[in-house]
């Protein structure tokens, strides 16, 4: 067995947090390894040590048997290690080729490497010259007996000289910064491993999967022999994932060593030869994939047994809650991003939205929450209020009087409410004693409301974008302040009050087991999963009528994911209409009651989750079920 990488007692800390503790294991050459672990188990940190992003505090890393001192990504390339990070390190304003060409040095070209290899074997030009001279002298010396052998040796040396010289010449000729040659090389690489990518395309025009492919090609172009991929499938569709795995297998056949960081067990089973498991920064063990079962892997990863089935109750008494009719949304580049979408979300039900990211999910949710302008169509909320006591938390006294005037209320004993001659004080008392109840359900046309009014009417959105912090949370503020972002308007007086948000922060931390030193820690310093918990927890805490969440488990480990799934289930039981935009089709099928498939902004179908297969949804996601007429605007 040949070793590609060996870790011995690697420890890495960030301040007080220990990311890796005395990790030791080795990776076999030419195999596909999966590094498995929960969020915060130190998988990415450990791999970043090899990739030159971090430096280990103590311990050693050996690459191909030699001790490696990796101070920067550049050093990593010297050891032929390339890492594909979760956040792609591509320059958006560059084309694919330009991205490939950046930072390339003469020493990275195959010609240079060939020359150096030959020089190692035959010697440099100067050494050969010396040798030739010596041999020539010896041949000239007539006293020596074995002149035939010598002249043969001389001939060989002269041939060596010519070889090296011609190699050097061709190496000199290589224009290593030349977009044309880079493009040629890129095309050869793509052909060899079966990648499809347009070299002249700008990165800002690429899909996530294309960007990832470009990253891989980039690493191989730099001569990476050991390839590390950090959660490569987190943003891919099942079809794209299959393509990626095919490419990885073909790379393995070409002798590359591949390490995948992941927490998706089925993918581990599908692609890897061996699994290394980390838990809380420590090495737990490794196991051959063939011999491992999913439950065994989970147990090693989490440290205890986890029930992997999502318990789904039947929706209880589903009522129409949110009615979207013929919704059309146009973005600022005049592309139709949500096209004639109609659906109904029921209370007490989870409506799943499947689709490749960037197919209108974000715009749809934002249009519903009032953040994105609507071109045409209507969004109606049916606010269940019939016979519910009135609260005046979100209403001014003026509004209450107007509603009473419009006949929206009656007393709990059935009499009509007339508030014209009642004092404010009296109204407050009546409300407090729950004597005023609503006549009917409130029907709200959301198209005419602003985002704040929409939120007040009970529609809450927890959107987790790719960078997690992009929407809804402020990284530089602590948990309490982030809670306050939703409530500061309710306060009176000049100064904000921090007690209530503080209590809420404590509650969220406790209920969702957010790992944080305290509620006064800046959000930016929490791990991704914990940030997501804070976001989702905050929105749920406001007892929404409609709860929309997009990618809430993006990049989360099993435990945290299930915590979130349970939260959604709880919302469902609380008669909330949940809209869940997800990526993992298995989860969508297990968690949701109905699934709506979006493709290029259009509804490709709405299905009962019990009566549809994963493949059918996957197919609809990619071509909308209409053959290949996928025209882009």
Partner 1 sequence: MVTLIPLALRAMAVYIFGATGDTIIEKGGHLNMGVPGIMFIGALGAIVGESLYANNIPADQINVVLAIIVPMIFAMIFAGLAGLLYCFLTVTLKCNQNVVGLSLTTFGVGFSRYFIAIFAEMADSNIPVAGDMIQHLFPNYAQAGAFGEMFLSGSFFTYFSILLAILISILFVKTKVGLNLRAVGENPASADAAGINVTAYRYIATIIGSMVVGIGGLTYVLDLKSGSFAATNDVDAFGWLCLSIVILSAWRSWITIPVSFAIGLLDRLPAALGLGAGPLGQFIGILPYIATIVVLIISSAISSKKMQPPAGLGQNYFREDR
Q: Is 61 in the site for partner 1 (CB under 8 A)?
A: no
Closest alpha carbon to 524 in 463, 567, 486, 481? 481
Q: Is 89 in the site for partner 1 (CB under 8 A)?
A: yes
Q: Is 98 in the site for partner 1 (CB under 8 A)?
A: yes
Residue 74 or 114 with smaller CB distance to partner 1: 74
- Of the candidate spans 94-102, 286-294, 543-551, 600-608, the one that interacts with partner 1 by CB under 8 A turns out to be 94-102
Q: Is 411 in the site for partner 1 (CB under 8 A)?
A: no
Tally Cβ neighbours within 10 Å of residue 129. 13
Interacting residue with partner 1 among 103, 285, 407, 517 (CB under 8 A): 103
Residue 28 or 98 with smaller CB distance to partner 1: 98
CB 37 within 8 A of CB 269: no
Name the helix (H) or strand (E) containing 186. Answer: helix 179-193
Closest approach of Cβ 84 to partner 1, in Å? 10
Closest approach of Cβ 129 to partner 1, in Å? 32
Tally Cβ neighbours within 10 Å of residue 411. 13
Draw the binding track, 215-234, toward partner 1 (x: CB under 8 A; -: no contact). Answer: ---x---x------------
Residue 454, C-beta contacts closer than 8 angstroms, at least 6 positions apart: 368, 369, 370, 446
Binding residues for partner 1, rule CB under 8 A, total 32
Q: Is 105 in the site for partner 1 (CB under 8 A)?
A: yes
Q: Which tokens hold the place of 307?
A: 């029930």
Q: Which residues pair with 410 in a beta bridge?
A: 416, 437
Residue 584, C-beta contacts closer than 8 angstroms, at least 6 positions apart: 264, 553
Interacting residue with partner 1 among 7, 25, 77, 580 (CB under 8 A): 77
d(CA 231, CA 259): 10
Three-state SS sequence of 313-350: CCCCCCCEEEEEEEEEEECCCCCEEEEEEEEEEECCEE
d(CA 397, CA 392): 8
Closest approach of Cβ 216 to partner 1, in Å? 13
User: What is residue 608's three-state secondary structure?
Assistant: strand
Interacting residue with partner 1 among 37, 40, 42, 73 (CB under 8 A): 73
Phi, psi (deg, nearest 5) at residue 99: -60, -35
Closest approach of Cβ 102 to partner 1, in Å? 4
Closest alpha carbon to 571 in 214, 315, 338, 391? 315
Residue 74 or 149 with smaller CB distance to partner 1: 74
According to CB under 8 A, which residues from 185 to 204 bind partner 1?
A: 202, 204
Closest approach of Cβ 72 to partner 1, in Å? 7
Q: Is 54 in the site for partner 1 (CB under 8 A)?
A: yes
Q: Is 488 in the site for partner 1 (CB under 8 A)?
A: no
CB 230 within 8 A of CB 84: yes
CB 601 within 8 A of CB 336: yes
- Of the candidate spans 80-88, 284-292, 323-331, 426-434, the one that interacts with partner 1 by CB under 8 A turns out to be 80-88
Closest alpha carbon to 205 in 195, 193, 214, 217? 214
d(CA 124, CA 491): 79
Residue 292 or 523 with smaller CB distance to partner 1: 523
Closest approach of Cβ 224 to partner 1, in Å? 11
Q: Is 58 in the site for partner 1 (CB under 8 A)?
A: no
- Of the candidate spans 92-100, 272-280, 300-308, 311-319, the one that interacts with partner 1 by CB under 8 A turns out to be 92-100
Q: Is 125 in the site for partner 1 (CB under 8 A)?
A: no
Interacting residue with partner 1 among 94, 112, 542, 562 (CB under 8 A): 94
- Of the candidate spans 69-77, 151-159, 407-415, 492-500, the one that interacts with partner 1 by CB under 8 A turns out to be 69-77
Q: Is 474 in the site for partner 1 (CB under 8 A)?
A: no
Closest alpha carbon to 360 in 64, 520, 600? 600
According to CB under 8 A, which residues from 508 to 547 bind partner 1?
A: 524-525
Closest approach of Cβ 213 to partner 1, in Å? 16
d(CA 609, CA 418): 48
Q: Is 85 in the site for partner 1 (CB under 8 A)?
A: yes
Burial of 630 (0-12, 13-18, 19+ CB in 10 A): exposed
**Residues at the contact surface with partner 1, assessed by CB under 8 A:** 51, 53-54, 72-74, 77, 83, 85, 87-94, 98-99, 101-105, 176-177, 202, 204, 218, 222, 524-525
């Amino acid at each position: 067995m040949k070793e590609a990488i060996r870790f011995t007692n690697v420890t890495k800390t960030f301040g007080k947090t220990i990311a890796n503790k005395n990790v030791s294991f080795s990776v076999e050459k030419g195999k596909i390894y999966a590094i498995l672990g929960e969020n915060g188990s130190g998988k990415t940190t450990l791999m970043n040590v090899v990739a030159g992003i971090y430096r280990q505090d103590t311990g050693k890393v050996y690459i191909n048997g030699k001790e490696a001192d990796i101070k920067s990504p550049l050093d990593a390339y010297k050891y032929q290690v390339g890492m594909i990070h979760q956040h792609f390190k591509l320059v958006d304003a560059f084309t694919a080729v330009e991205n490939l060409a950046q930072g390339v040095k003469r020493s990275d070209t195959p010609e240079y490497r060939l020359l150096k290899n030959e020089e190692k074997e035959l010697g440099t030009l100067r050494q050969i010259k010396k040798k030739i001279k010596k041999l020539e002298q010896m041949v000239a010396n007539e006293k020596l007996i074995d002149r035939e052998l010598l002249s043969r040796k001389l001939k060989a040396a002269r041939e060596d000289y010519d070889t090296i010289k011609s190699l050097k010449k061709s190496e000199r000729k290589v224009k290593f910064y030349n977009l044309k040659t880079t493009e040629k090389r890129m095309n050869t690489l793509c052909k060899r491993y079966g990648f499809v990518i347009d070299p002249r395309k700008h990165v800002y025009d690429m899909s996530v999967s294309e960007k990832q492919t470009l990253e891989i090609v980039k690493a191989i172009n730099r001569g990476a022999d050991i390839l590390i991929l950090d959660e490569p499938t987190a943003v891919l569709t099942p079809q794209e994932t299959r393509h990626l795995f095919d490419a990885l297998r073909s790379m393995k056949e070409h002798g590359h060593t591949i390490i995948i960081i992941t927490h998706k067990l089925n993918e581990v089973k599908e692609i890897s030869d061996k699994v290394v498991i980390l838990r809380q920064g420590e090495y737990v063990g490794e196991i051959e994939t063939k011999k491992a079962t999913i439950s065994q892997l989970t147990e090693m990863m989490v440290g205890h047994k986890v029930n992997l089935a999502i318990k789904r109750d039947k929706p209880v008494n589903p009522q129409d809650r949110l009615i979207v009719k013929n919704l059309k949304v146009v973005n600022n580049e005049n592309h139709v991003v949500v096209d004639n979408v109609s659906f109904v979300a029921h209370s007490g039900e989870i409506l799943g939205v499947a689709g490749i990211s960037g197919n209108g999910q974000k715009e749809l949710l934002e249009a519903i929450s009032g953040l994105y302008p609507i071109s045409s169509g209507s969004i109606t909320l049916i606010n269940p209020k019939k016979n519910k006591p009135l609260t005046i938390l979100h209403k001014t006294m003026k509004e209450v009087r107007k509603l009473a005037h419009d006949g929206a209320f009656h007393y709990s004993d059935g009499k009509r409410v007339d508030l014209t001659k009642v004092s404010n004080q009296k109204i407050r008392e009546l409300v407090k004693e729950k004597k005023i109840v609503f006549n009917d359900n409130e029907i709200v046309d959301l198209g005419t409301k602003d985002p704040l009014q929409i939120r007040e009417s009970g529609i809450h959105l927890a959107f987790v974008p790719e960078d997690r912090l992009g929407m809804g949370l402020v990284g530089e503020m602590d948990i309490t302040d982030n809670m306050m972002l939703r409530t500061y308007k309710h306060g009176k007086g000049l100064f904000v009050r921090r007690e209530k948000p503080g209590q809420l922060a404590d509650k969220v931390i406790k209920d969702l087991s957010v790992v944080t030193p305290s509620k006064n820690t800046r959000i930016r310093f929490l791990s991704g999963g914990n940030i997501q918990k804070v976001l989702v927890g905050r929105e749920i805490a406001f007892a929404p009528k409609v709860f929309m969440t997009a990618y809430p488990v993006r990049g989360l480990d099993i435990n945290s994911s299930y915590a979130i799934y349970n939260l959604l289930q709880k919302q469902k039981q609380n008669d909330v209409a949940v809209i869940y935009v997800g990526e993992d089709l298995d989860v969508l099928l297990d968690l949701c009651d109905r699934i709506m498939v979006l493709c290029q902004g259009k509804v490709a179908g709405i299905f009962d989750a019990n009566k549809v297969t994963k493949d059918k949804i996957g197919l609809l996601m990619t071509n909308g079920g209409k053959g290949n007429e996928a025209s882009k605007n």
